[in-house]
Chain A
Amino acid sequence: MVTTKDLEAHFEFECKACENGRCAKADVETILSEREGLKEFYEAFKEHIRECKRMTYGQYMFVIDREVLPDAVLWWHNHPEFKETHMSTAVGTDERPLNGHFVYMPFLSVQVEHRNMDRNYWVFLKAYLPADDPSFPSVAAKLPAALWIEREVKDLLGFNPVGHPDPRRLILPEDWPDGVYPLRKDMDYRHSPITEPKTEYRPTPEGTSLVPLGPVHMGVEEPAHFRLFVKGETIVDVDYRGFYSHRGIEKTGEGRLTYNQVLFLAERICGICGYQHSVSYAMAVERLADVEIPDRARYIRTLMLELERIHNHLLWVGIAAHMVGFDTGFMHAWRIREPVMWLVERLTGNRKQYGMNIVGGVRRDILDYRKEEILKVVKEIREGTKKFLDIALNTNTFIKRAEGVGILPYKVAKAYSVLGPTARASGRRIDARLDQATKTAMAYNEVDFKVPVYKEGDVLARVLVRMDELFESLWIVEQLIDQMPGGDIMVPIGDLPEYEEALGFTEAHRGEVVHYVMTGEKNKVYRWKVRAPTYNNLPAIPEMLRGYHVADAPLIIASIDPCYSCTERVQFVDVETGKVKVLTEAEFNELSIKYKGVF
């Protein structure tokens, strides 16, 4: 069994806080020889690499010139040997208070070998942009995976991706004035200016008519606006406008909270995969602080993560059934799911938003007599799900609707860096649980499970991938209960090193969740970037919808298990009236007393 202690057996962590947080002292040669591919990259881009360092175990950073950004990203992405390498996302940071530059930093998950977390690694390609001209050549022109993130940094930080194919507004509301960039450090988080709303919808192509799926629609649970251009009932093209539930969580986290408070904010990013976010964030900070968390805490975290996956997959399959009018499937899937919710309530005190995590471990121990309860629920779920699948997969009308619909070919899936079950249904062999070094925060390296992959790429394949995963998760839970070590459940973290960066990640139910954390002074977070899997999966939706029926649209959209609030992670702005309503605490209390019992 590998323990966290082995983790650092081969590699020594370099000095952390030397030279203002930048480890220029580390020997380049040793770093480059640690993992395959690094040296090759160094040779290829020698003239443009300014600095290279290891941020933490399995995370490497190259500071490169902005001119070569697209080439460098594509070099990794199209590497002939590392087939499943994907551009995870990018981070834009306002580092002007530190060094007078902006930073744009795409990062990639490099997969040297499937399921080998000690050989795979993350690569960060950091480019400094001058403060007076924060522009960089667009990666998105060549790689669609960068489409959204470049629009995001344009919105939030005012960067200019030169050559971006679709530079419209992505995140900020329609009535947000031009030239105000919320994530720049000189902007206060309370500032909320508004102007006249202006919309930037794509014009309807000739000969088609518009079917608006959203902002509020039966088939989309959260506000999202798909504009389907249809001919008859066939979808010709799709325009997407979302981010109606953008809450500015990153800004709140950066401005005013301590690192432990951010954790609880992170858990509230999503109503379903909250724990995944919380673990990812905790993992990033633990990596920064270079602490080893107790084995028992790792096990408890993994257990909760898997229980979350189980109930989410059941929830999802219910929704998928509901989308095609198969309400019996919907009701039964949710009935089977409910015991998991009761179980986690017993274990943590909450049905959702467990509040179980803390940086350095977990807050509650799992009592031994509860183990039996967990095993009992697992057994129930397994039997229930088997019966359910028997019925659902034998319902001809359901299969007829799901088979051969919303096909996402492997190549497109890779170009858009689609993640999670959606990617695995298209034949991508990726799973962040084993592909990257999750062992500092979770215990996936100590359990045995399969990662189901299907090649068909249609909605049915996505159903099957999730259901196979569900059974694997049940098996993981059983192993965890069996192997649960004793000992402490947390270690204190103490002060954080200043201006250090690290990445935390988990494989959520929808794909890999990534939390990038850069610390500031006095235990605060300088930059916190959250990337939920739906952020990568949603841009691929138009590709899946094209050529299919309007009737299939809700099912196809639901098939990636979209989570808009995760993706959109600000103030309450009413787009229609353009009024900003900020409640003072007194008003808020008044309202809550007035409407007590109503909501």
Chain B
Amino acid sequence: MNEYVGWAFKIAGVILFLLLPPYLDGIARRVKARLQYRRGPPLSQTWYDLKKLFAIPSVIPTKSAVFRIAPYLALASAITAALLLPYGGYVPINYGYNLIVFFYVIVMVSVFIMLGGFSVQSAFSHLGSAREMQLLLTVEPILAVVYGVLAYNAGSLNIATIFNNLHLTPSLILAIIILAYALYVESGFVPFDIAEAEQEVIGGPLSEYSGRLLGVFYYAIYIKRFALLWFFVSLITYPVMRPINDVITSVGLFIVQILLTIAFYPIIAALEATNARLRIDHVVKVNVKIFFIGLGILAMAFMGW
């Protein structure tokens, strides 16, 4: 019986992370439009966009196979990342050290975007990819440190186990705050959409992409953003709703996860709408500072605070 319930949750999770991300983007677009006194597009507009992109053949400006494969690999990485997260207490793919895998596949999405950008002969692509790299190299250490705090706090490297065994300490609260920042940067929302900056490098690594391949990249990015947000949401819901040991608590948790994810998007959209894009050197400076703060928090965690 319990096995069937588990499968039901896992399948529900898969359907959720495949279908919901573009709607979340739709919510963000709508909220931004309202802040700008516009009506805004329908919630499914991002899906319509993707549908259209998927139907259009891509222009291939290079012989490099990387250019063609990169979007699919990025999508695969994003989906893998989403599969490692718990949906209502059940993780579609669950094994020992999956926090490390999660960290790694999320990075891979950006890496494939960068590789795609570097595979073509275009100054904008290269500039954008170089920026993506700088972002990645400065934000990933922060994430690694925060994951370290979480793992040390819960004594595990398994995502679900971590969520179930967190102790409320000052270092955890600080880690969550920094995590929120790092995930926001990693997701590439304004003011951190530096790599894709339309007006400056016309889409950066994506500037040579069109049609289906572009659609796949977008889809991968939406799923990645969803996975990061879902990770964050789970991190704050689990400790509150523990213990999760029967169907009712699982359903409750799942619903809270979904609602919180949806609730976070308008906040993100509002932040996006009220900010200008930063420059890469600004972000690098801030990230380095935060990294050292992160190290301090890690030390705190070791001290048991």
Contacts and interface: CB of A to CB of B under 8 A. Distances in A.
A219 B200 contact: yes
B225 interface: no
B127 interface: yes
A148 B130 CA distance: 36
B289 interface: no
Given A398-B276, A400-B278, A551-B194, A328 B200 contact: no
Given A325-B193, A331-B38, A549 B32 contact: no
A322 B276 CA distance: 8
Contacts of B32: 327-328
Interface in A322-347: 322-329, 331-332, 335
Given A209-B123, A328-B35, A331-B37, A554 B275 contact: no
A209 B38 CA distance: 41
B199 A219 contact: yes
Interface in B195-213: 197-202
Contacts of A3: none
Among A209, A233, A325, A327, residue most surrounded by chain B Cβ atoms (within 10 Å) = A325
Contact of A324 (B202, B276, B280): B276
Given A217-B202, A550-B201, A328 B273 contact: yes
Nearest to A334: B36
Contact of B127 (A211, A219, A391): A211
B274 interface: yes
B199 A322 contact: yes
A212 interface: yes
A218 interface: yes
Given A325-B191, A328-B32, A401 B202 contact: no
B277 A325 contact: yes
B123 A210 contact: yes
B200 A550 contact: yes
B37 A218 contact: no
B63 interface: no
Contacts of A398: 275-276
A52 to B, nearest CB: 51
B281 interface: yes
A400 B276 CA distance: 9
A261 interface: no
A401 B275 contact: no
A323 B198 CA distance: 9
A147 interface: no
Contact of A549 (B130, B273, B281): B281
A290 B280 CA distance: 59
A552 interface: yes
B191 A397 contact: yes
B124 interface: yes
Given A325-B199, A397-B275, A397-B278, A233 B123 contact: no
Interface in B102-144: 123-124, 127, 130-131
A332 B282 contact: no
Contacts of B200: 219, 550-551, 553-554
Contacts of B276: 321, 324-326, 329, 395, 397-398, 400-401
Interface string B271-305: 00111111111100000000000000000000000
A326 B271 CA distance: 11
B74 interface: no
Among B38, B130, B193, B276, residue most surrounded by chain A Cβ atoms (within 10 Å) = B276
Nearest to B281: A549
A334 B16 CA distance: 39
A205 to B, nearest CB: 15
Interface of A: 209-212, 217-219, 232-233, 321-329, 331-332, 335, 391, 395, 397-398, 400-401, 549-554
17 contacts: A211-B127, A217-B202, A233-B280, A321-B276, A324-B276, A325-B276, A326-B277, A328-B36, A328-B273, A331-B36, A395-B274, A397-B276, A400-B279, A401-B277, A401-B279, A551-B277, A554-B200
Interface of B: 32, 35-38, 123-124, 127, 130-131, 190-191, 193-194, 197-202, 273-282
Given A398-B275, A551-B201, 12 more contacts: A211-B123, A326-B276, A331-B36, A332-B36, A395-B276, A397-B275, A397-B277, A549-B279, A550-B201, A551-B200, A551-B279, A554-B200
